[in-house]
Homo-oligomer: A and B are copies of this chain.
Amino acid sequence: MSNSAILLIHCPDQAGLVAEVTEFVHKNRGNILDLDQHVDRELNHFFMRVEWDLDGFLIPREKINDYFETLIGKAYNMKWQLHLTERKPRMAIFVSKASHCLYDLLQRYGTGEFDCEITAIVGNHKQLEYIADRFEIPFHYLPITRDTKQAQEERTDALLRELGTDFIVLARYMQILSDNFCRQWPHRIINIHHSFLPAFKGARPYHNAFERGVKLIGATSHYVTADLDEGPIIAQAVEPVNHRHGIEDLKRIGKDVEKRVLSRAVYLQLQHLILPFGNRTIIFN
């Protein structure tokens, strides 16, 4: 059983930051398992991820946050997240009608590749309920009309919080979330866009890619912000296409890229390897 702590830290750069943090861990008898740091020279900003073994660590886990704040965090004006690996991340999945990403996520969950709990599958259509059933995960049918959008989002938000959800994965969910909802889940909603952003934002990217005659099609996973398709990018990939491929082929090939890119983002999220900053992400991998 994994029993370690992970700190994701960022702050304005200054001398001695790495030494301070490693001393904090070391003096309290924590053994560092992994350390990665990065300084953005243009922004003069410091980023760090450190993981250490909690066996024999002197500070009780419920007090680590306080001690870190008092001893280091405040003094250096740091922002940080603390994650304990003994707690499994809790993920919700939103779907509409397309099944490929949902199947892919559930398969990885079913085989233990994703070490998490799935709190709920939320669909604004009923079509994929049978897949949730096959995997024995609760499916919540929450249809949306223009009139019910706000109410549905509030209901969804309440449901997810009640279930102790940490983050949401939009697995080809074909509804635009309200600004308000996005702001409730900052850096906690992961979307898959079916193009290589910033090319082909918005709807029908495969049609647009076909029209433009591109030789590669791609997919982009990103955190959702109030600006559609503009949130921090987590992962991207492409596949070659050629003149033999019609729009249906682009969609077929694209589905594979979407699955790969979305599952990569979810994996990074579950491993606490992503540190978003402004409109970019630091991926400690």
**Which A residues form the contact surface with B (CB < 8 A)?**
15-19, 22-23, 25-26, 29, 31-42, 47, 99-100, 103-104, 107, 110-111, 113, 134-135, 196-200, 211-216, 218, 232-238, 242-244, 246-247, 252, 255-256, 260, 263, 279-283, 285
Contact = CB atoms under 8 A, between A and B. Distances in A.
Nearest to A237: B216
A115 B74 CA distance: 41
Nearest to A99: B111
A15 B279 CA distance: 36
Contact of A215 (B31, B100, B233): B233
A256 B197 CA distance: 22
5 contacts: A36-B37, A41-B246, A100-B107, A100-B111, A256-B263
Contact of A199 (B134, B197, B235, B243): B197
Contacts of A236: 214-216
Nearest to A244: B38
Chain copies in complex: 4
Given A196-B238, A214-B236, 10 more contacts: A18-B35, A19-B32, A22-B22, A33-B39, A35-B35, A42-B247, A196-B199, A198-B200, A213-B279, A216-B218
Given A18-B32, A199-B198, A285 B233 contact: no
A217 to B, nearest CB: 10
A64 to B, nearest CB: 17
A77 to B, nearest CB: 17
Nearest to A278: B213
Nearest to A243: B282
A103 B23 CA distance: 47
A55 to B, nearest CB: 11
A38 B211 CA distance: 17
Contacts of A198: 199-200, 212, 214
A191 B104 CA distance: 22
Contacts of A19: 19, 22-23, 25-26, 32
A263 B234 CA distance: 26
B215 A235 contact: yes
A186 B19 CA distance: 33
A100 B135 CA distance: 15
Nearest to A215: B236
A195 B36 CA distance: 30
Contact of A36 (B36, B100, B196, B237): B36
Contacts of A107: 99-100, 103-104, 107
Contacts of A100: 107, 111
